[in-house]
Amino acid sequence: MGRAKVFAAAVLGPLVTGYVVVAALFGLVTAMASAAEFSVAGVLRAAGPGWLAAHQVPVTIAGRPLGVLPLLATVGVFALVARAAANATQRLGLRDPGSTVPLIGAVTGAHAVAGLVVALLDNTAGLRVEPLSAFAVPAVVAGVAAAAGAASRSGVAAALREYLDPLAVRGLRAGALGLAGLLAVGALVHTVGLVLASGTTRDLFASNAPGFGSGVGMLLLSLGYLPNAVIGGLAFVAGPGFSIGSFSITAFAFDGGPVPGLPVLAGVPEHHAFWWPVLMLLPAAVGALLGWSLRRGDENPVARLRIVGIAGALVGFGCVVLGTLAGGRLGGGAFDPVSVPVGLLSVAAFGWIAVPGGLVAWFAGPHARPKPEPEPDPGEEPEVEPEIEAELEDLDAELEEIIEESGEDTEDAEDTEDADEDIDEDTEAEPGEPADDEPEADPEDSEEPPPASGKPEEPS
């Protein structure tokens, strides 16, 4: 029973909490606005499309499309779902990544059904939401958030380390750091622009949101669109820029036009300045700092370039996602559409990370040198591979057999040579000396009879 409660809280908790927060904000703004009529039913009914807008679902109000939606609300929804999934994963003891699939699937399905129900109930003449978008977009946002939250507690990171190359893991971490650095640069530029245009900010509040209640509503609206403005600042300093209807701005060009009267856009320039390209040193500095942090990532400079390349690819992909979410349709009038050239932004962001980062990582880090082969120690036998050692043993055995056979032949040959030498010694003996094997002759036997003749020997 306890596990079922934890599971249900993780699935339904973000839905209920998100809807209550949106309804509370709408009720607060309506109650504080002097010209608005507060109605509980109206607030609850308007909270449904607001909940969809927080999930980046485009809506149509009085026939005018609204696709540029506040990213701060989406960040809040993402964090809420991810935290709920992480807590449920820990409390349920889900340590295997595969065991979190039912939880992620349930969260995704619940948000899809809720979005579809809200779209069907609020599909009136004044407010219309496409049912397919209301079904699919919340499911994607919630599914990604739940997967991220469950992954932080279920050992997915450790499992990925076993299958991914260590250089790829370092590259992904560096890419997340580089994307955060570029967003920080965009936030810095936007903040400086707001500070320099503080007078324009006060004028916009005074003219477009008079009164305390309207001012609070305008402030909340500007805060909701603050991440959109930061992404626009990033696109500006990176080079491609952004456009709002006929208004467009880049680091090298400027086309004037009307801009929405939101205080968050008070820092948008009114004319071109020749020094704008200098601002591109900021993203270049981010890439250089990233390369400096990777200068000792590996002894091989080519491996360090690979890490920087992976980081740049992740940054480029992140810019595509952020640039797509930051833009959209805006009422079909003079401010429509709000767009960021995501293709150019992706290429520019990759270049700002890969080029300076690669140069710094290459030259600032160590360069691996070929290690000299160690000289063999006279007292130690060189190591031989097992296959070669077996072949050498076979050759030694064959060589011993050959030596044994040749040894027997050598002994026979030596015996034969000894016998020949004995015979030679016997044949080469001197005439006056008896041979070694022949017995010495008796002198008496050695006398020979006188030679016979025809005449008898005369007596003396």
For the stretch 63-82, pLDDT in tens is 888 999 999 999 999 999 99
Write the burial class of residue 32 (CB in 10 Å: 0-12 exposed, 13-18 middle, 19+ buried).
middle
Write down the mean pLDDT value for the chain.
Answer: 83
Bridge partners of residue 66, in order along the sequence: 59, 330
427: pLDDT strictly greater than 80 = no
Whole-number percent of the chain with pLDDT over 90 = 53
Strand segments, DSSP code E, in 172-253 are 242-244, 247-249
Tracing tokens 């491609």 back to the chain, one arrives at 240
- pTM exceeding 0.85: no
What is the pLDDT averaged over residues 212-233? 92
Tokens of 120: 């069907």
| Dihedral pair phi/psi, residue 257, rounded to 5° | 175, 175
438: pLDDT strictly greater than 50 = no
What is the pLDDT averaged over residues 43-52? 88
At 163, is the pLDDT very low, low, confident or very high (cuts 50, 70, 90)? confident
At 367, is the pLDDT very low, low, confident or very high (cuts 50, 70, 90)? confident
192: pLDDT strictly greater than 80 = yes
Give the helix/strand (H/E) hosting 60: strand 59-61
Secondary structure class of 440 (helix, strand, coil)? coil
Q: For residue 446, what pLDDT is reported?
A: 45
Q: For residue 189, what pLDDT is reported?
A: 95
Question: How many angstroms separate the CA atoms of 290 and 358, rounded?
Answer: 9
**Peptide bond preceding 337: is omega within 30 degrees of 0, i.e. cis?**
yes
Instruction: Give the pLDDT confidence of 267-298 residue by residue, as tens digits.
Output: 999 899 999 999 999 999 999 999 999 998 88
What is the pLDDT averaged over residues 338-364? 95
At 429, is the pLDDT very low, low, confident or very high (cuts 50, 70, 90)? very low
CB 351 within 8 A of CB 238: no
CB 263 within 8 A of CB 201: yes
- State the Cα torsion 82-312-251-240 to the nearest 10°: -70
What is the pLDDT averaged over residues 365-391? 61
Q: Which of 331, 400, 289 is nearest to 61 (CA)?
A: 331
Separation in Å, CA 209 to CA 25, 34, 224, 268: 17, 11, 16, 19
At 264, is the pLDDT very low, low, confident or very high (cuts 50, 70, 90)? very high
Q: For residue 53, what pLDDT is reported?
A: 93
| Dihedral pair phi/psi, residue 271, rounded to 5° | -155, 170
At 30, is the pLDDT very low, low, confident or very high (cuts 50, 70, 90)? confident
Number of residues that this document lists for the chain: 460
Strand segments, DSSP code E, in 139-249 are 242-244, 247-249
What is the pLDDT averaged over residues 448-459? 47
What is the pLDDT averaged over residues 195-216? 88
Instruction: Give the pLDDT confidence of 95-148 residue by residue, as tens digits.
Output: 887 888 999 999 999 999 999 999 988 766 578 889 999 999 999 999 999 999
157: pLDDT strictly greater than 60 = yes
Question: How many angstroms separate the CA atoms of 396 and 69, rounded?
Answer: 83
Q: Which of 314, 313, 341, 315 is nearest to 326 (CA)?
A: 341
Q: For residue 253, what pLDDT is reported?
A: 92
Q: Which of 24, 69, 70 is nearest to 47 (CA)?
A: 24
Among 39-43, 219-223, 374-378, the range with the most confident prediction by mean pLDDT is 219-223
Q: For residue 64, what pLDDT is reported?
A: 87
426: pLDDT strictly greater than 60 = no
Tokens of 54: 């927080």
At 457, is the pLDDT very low, low, confident or very high (cuts 50, 70, 90)? very low
Q: For residue 160, what pLDDT is reported?
A: 74
Q: What angle do CA 346, 74, 29 make, to 5 degrees?
A: 135
Q: Which of 269, 230, 228, 226 is nearest to 251 (CA)?
A: 269
Question: How many angstroms separate the CA atoms of 227 and 179, rounded?
Answer: 14
Distance, C-alpha 125 to centroid of its chain? 47
According to DSSP, residue 209 is labeled: S
